[in-house]
Amino acid sequence: MNKTIKEKYSSKEPLFVRFLNKEAHVSDLLSTFSTSSDAFTSEVATKALSSADYHDLTTFRDQLKEAVTDLIKSGPGDEFKAFVDHHMADSIVEDVAHTATQWGDNLSRVARIKEEDSPWLEGFLCYNLCLYIKAIGLENLKSCRVCGKFFANKGKYAVYCSDNCKKLKPQII
């Protein structure tokens, strides 16, 4: 999956954040992965999208929320690592290509589905989270103090996901 996912959504939030906040549904995920440059991934996602028998990711969403909440509070501990490894290990493969340039190595990562019957949607969401941590870090990943939504694009000192929540902030007496 090497396409920029931002193009389909007006939100600048990463895919895993939109999924956690229920802004990206299973059909959105399948549609996104159906445009993958990997032929097998694209084929599997397209087939799942056309079947209209989508995976129920409600339980996974709850588990991922808990994992991200713990991640924000405590950092990436052993439990978090075991969680993402469990969901990614059997479902996706990452191909990494190095290209030397005059400015240093250019690194390209492409994730693809390992097995069609594996929990690959969960694996891709965990992969997206791990890439976010690796590229951006944890200091910008937050949970809104008012509504509880996750957000990642407001800066390290932000505590509210929107101006609306900022207006509703709890008053200190």
Is the separation of the CB atoms in 158 and 146 below 8 Å? Answer: no
Domain 11-167: which CATH number of 1.10.3470, 1.10.3300, 3.40.50, 3.30.750 = 1.10.3300
Task: Please report, in tens digits, the pLDDT of each residue of the chain (173 residues total).
Answer: 434 443 444 468 899 999 999 999 999 999 999 999 999 999 999 999 998 777 789 999 999 999 999 999 999 999 999 999 999 999 999 988 888 888 888 888 889 999 999 999 999 999 999 999 998 888 889 999 889 899 987 777 788 888 888 888 765 44
Alpha helices in the chain (DSSP H): 15-20, 26-33, 39-51, 58-74, 78-89, 120-135, 163-167
pTM: 0.84
Per-domain boundaries in the chain: 11-167
Helix (H) or strand (E) holding 132: helix 120-135
